[in-house]
Amino acid sequence: MRASSLLINTTRERPAEAELTSHALMLRAGMLRQLASGIFSWLPLGLRTVRRIEQIVREEMNRAGAAEIMMPAVQPAELWQESGRWQIYGPELLRLEDRHGRAYCVGPTHEEVVTDIARACVRSWRQLPCNLYQIQTKFRDEVRPRFGVMRSREFVMKDAYSFDADAAGAKRSYQIMRDAYVRIFDRIGLDYRVVEADVGAIGGSFSEEFLALADCGEAVIGYTDGDYATNLEQVPCSPPAAAQRPDPGEKMEEFATPGVATIDELDQFVGGIDPGRSIKTMIVTGEAGSAALILPGNAELSLAKASRLEQVGFGAALAEDDFVRKTVGAGFGSLGPVGMSLPVIADASLASAADFFCGANRDGYHLRGVNFGRDLPEPRFADLRMAVAGEVAPDGRPLKLRRGIEVGQIFNLGTKYSQAMAARIEGDDNVLRPMVMGCYGIGITRIVAAAIEQFNDEAGIVFPESIAPFIVAVLPLGKSPEVMQAAESLYAALNESGIDCLLEDRGLRAGAAFADLDLLGIPHRLVVSERSLAAGKVEHKARHTGAVSMLEMADAPAQVRAMLAAKKP
Ligand code: ATP
Ligand code: MG
């Protein structure tokens, strides 16, 4: 294609609204444009990269035996009521009503719709296994849309759903998809890890995430030098050494702590508290109810672990301010387990805590000298905290941490949806049983951002050939008709040989044209100038190494093709 027809608008300055390099580069390169918070239009260059990712995903899905379908974006509430998710999927679900007052949502995911298809269309166990996928726009009303398309409200996802007659079949389907995911991310060229993950709001029994390594990632991987790698939220904390809990040594007393709202402020106010003697209290709410969770002041709560508590249930989140005030009578900064009306569950590391500090459930007051069993009932203990670097991981090695961007997640769902929605199949023994499902997501548009996070330098994006908007750019320098003519023929020859080629025909000054091509990240650049033409040559520059060489003009398409082939595994 010709640069003049692609609405290329590049900018030199980093846009103020972009926190991440990838977002800044995408805006500077004119790949996309924000329409509203978390809602974007893809412009020609950006969309080409999206399409290339889709193509890789589509090829690998087809190769794995999945069949492409297209489900509607708008879904009737009844289906979600059947699965039970209408009630529990929180404010992320965009709900709407039609003119007849019927309720709908804009699909954040498609388990309900696909299960409805399967219960109608799968008539016999002979049609199983069956795997259906689509590449489609999702909507999730994210609390904090940010980082451009990394966490947007509207985004493109590839979602696949497998149906099997039994658990063994479902396990095979899961493995086939897992292998396909590995091929997809290898082909794109991302540096990624596969980690065991929380099943979250999708549900099911087992799940893994594909995380592209990047410091800006929101997911943290807990891993070791062995094979161990798990989403940090899930890393079990080693049980504390069985220390004897000392007898209470102090009497409980309340003291005024004006303006103290955090553990650090309390520590300063009191003049230093031994670690392990200050306790923080967090009220969380999930599908099953609310509870007060207590942790060491310096520990971080894992909401994934909280979701596993029977008192809380899945979807655990910190309770709203209003709820806390109504239930406890104090704000977040003054909460404590003494006299708490909600169930109190303590992190396992607190089992030997005595004479501790905590909030008094009265604004501006704390308690000291608090002891389990004397000042409050003996709590239930559970693993609630996030593991930290250096502690012993389940494989016995020291835990290390690294950040990643979730680009895909796969789930073994079991019969959660097929049971609720009666998607059953008769086996060869004539007994009706719910089909066993799996679901498999890839964030197509998020991958664009994740890839740019990994592939960039000071001059701009350094796309791998796998997902570049164009493989080669031909740039004629100067205004001579011969140069233009030669560039046009080269452009035609490259296209003819099946190489996606951009002709930089905007008549920019050399410096501006070079800068733009560097920013856009096109892997190969061919410059036609009067001087090179006189020698029958064209200058080649590789974007990722910066290496420059002169190619015979007539031979250039073949040489570029050879460079591309040389990189293929
Ligand atoms: P996250 O934890 O990042 O919110 P998720 O676990 O809710 O993601 P899934 O339901 O597993 O997401 O969706 C499948 C894939 O869709 C994710 O792995 C991710 O790549 C992509 N995705 C999810 N939410 C967004 C979003 N808000 N913006 C862009 N991509 C998204
Ligand atoms: Mg996920």
Give yes or no for residue 543 CB within 6 A of ligand 1: no
Give yes or no for residue 407 CB within 6 A of ligand 1: yes
Give yes or no for residue 214 CB within 6 A of ligand 1: no
**Residues 367, 274: one domain?**
yes
The answer as to whether 393 is a domain residue is no
Please tell me the residue having the least CA distance from ligand 1 atom 29.
Answer: 151
State the closest ligand 1 atom to the C-alpha of 442, by its place in the atom list counted from 1.
15
Average pLDDT over residues 348-366: 93
Instruction: Give the CA diameter of the chain.
Output: 94
CB 146 within 8 A of CB 167: no
Q: What is the pLDDT at residue 264?
A: 86
Q: Residue 157 CA: which ligand is closest?
A: 1
Average pLDDT over residues 417-438: 92
- Ligand 2 centroid–CA 412 distance in Å is 13
pLDDT of 444 above 80: yes
pLDDT of 347 above 90: yes
pLDDT, tens digit, 9 for 90 and up, residues 371-423? 999 999 999 999 999 999 999 999 999 999 999 999 999 999 999 999 999 99
Please tell me the residue having the least CA distance from ligand 1 atom 1.
Answer: 406
Q: Residue 537 pairs with which residues in a beta bridge?
A: 552
Best mutation site among 50, 54, 157 for ligand 1 pocket (most ligand atoms within 8 Å of CB): 157
CB 421 within 8 A of CB 435: no
From residue 100, give the alpha-carbon distance in Å to each of 86, 103, 104.
19, 9, 11
Please tell me the residue having the least CA distance from ligand 1 atom 4.
Answer: 151
Q: What is the pLDDT at residue 202?
A: 58
**Residues 301, 418: one domain?**
no
Q: Residue 446 CA: which ligand is closest?
A: 1
The answer as to whether 245 is a domain residue is no
Give yes or no for residue 109 CB within 6 A of ligand 1: yes
Domain count, the chain: 3
**Residues 164, 103: one domain?**
yes
Distance of CA 69 to the CA centre of its chain: 24
- Dihedrals φ, ψ of 40, to 5°? -130, 150
State the closest ligand 1 atom to the C-alpha of 157, by its place in the atom list counted from 1.
16
**Residues 216, 269: one domain?**
no
**Residues 440, 519: one domain?**
no
| Count of residues making up the chain | 569
The answer as to whether 241 is a domain residue is no
Quick one: what percent of the chain has pLDDT higher than 70? 98
- Ligand 2 centroid–CA 108 distance in Å is 12
β-strands 472-476, 501-503 pairing: parallel
DSSP at 255: E
Average pLDDT over residues 320-344: 92
Last residue of a domain, one of 351, 382, 413: 382
- Ligand 2 centroid–CA 406 distance in Å is 7
**Residues 20, 168: one domain?**
yes
- Distance of alpha carbon 269 from alpha carbon 355, whole angstroms: 17
**Residues 85, 7: one domain?**
yes
Give yes or no for residue 494 CB within 6 A of ligand 1: no
The answer as to whether 243 is a domain residue is no
Q: What is the pLDDT at residue 251?
A: 95
How big is the CA angle at 498 (ends 492 and 499), to the nearest 5 degrees?
75
**Residues 309, 259: one domain?**
yes
Give yes or no for residue 140 CB within 6 A of ligand 1: yes
Give yes or no for residue 110 CB within 6 A of ligand 1: no
pLDDT, tens digit, 9 for 90 and up, residues 530-560? 999 999 999 999 999 999 999 999 899 999 9
The answer as to whether 547 is a domain residue is yes
CATH number for 189? 3.30.930.10
Please tell me the residue having the least CA distance from ligand 1 atom 25.
Answer: 151
Looking up tokens 């064209």 gives 538
Give yes or no for residue 173 CB within 6 A of ligand 1: no
Q: What is the pLDDT at residue 199?
A: 67
State the closest ligand 1 atom to the C-alpha of 447, by its place in the atom list counted from 1.
20
**Residues 116, 169: one domain?**
yes
Give yes or no for residue 118 CB within 6 A of ligand 1: no
pLDDT, tens digit, 9 for 90 and up, residues 54-91? 999 999 999 999 999 999 999 999 999 999 999 888 88
Give yes or no for residue 283 CB within 6 A of ligand 1: no
Please tell me the residue having the least CA distance from ligand 1 atom 31.
Answer: 443
pLDDT of 427 above 90: no
pLDDT, tens digit, 9 for 90 and up, residues 8-37? 999 999 998 899 999 999 999 999 999 999
Tokens of 331: 């704000």
The answer as to whether 337 is a domain residue is yes
The answer as to whether 242 is a domain residue is no
pLDDT, tens digit, 9 for 90 and up, residues 168-211? 999 999 999 999 999 999 999 999 999 988 766 555 678 999 99
Of 266, 276, 296, 298, which is closest to residue 367 (Cα–Cα)? 266
CATH number for 500? 3.40.50.800
Of 327, 372, 350, which is closest to residue 280 (Cα–Cα)? 350
| Average pLDDT of the residues of the chain | 93
Q: What is the pLDDT at residue 569?
A: 47
State the closest ligand 1 atom to the C-alpha of 142, by its place in the atom list counted from 1.
27
**Residues 334, 437: one domain?**
no
The answer as to whether 179 is a domain residue is yes
DSSP at 477: -
Average pLDDT over residues 82-111: 94
Q: What is the pLDDT at residue 204?
A: 62
- Distance of alpha carbon 153 from alpha carbon 92, whole angstroms: 9
**Residues 407, 336: one domain?**
no
Give yes or no for residue 207 CB within 6 A of ligand 1: no
Query: What is the domain extent for residue 480?
Result: 470-567
- Ligand 2 centroid–CA 409 distance in Å is 5
**Residues 53, 175: one domain?**
yes
pLDDT of 480 above 80: yes
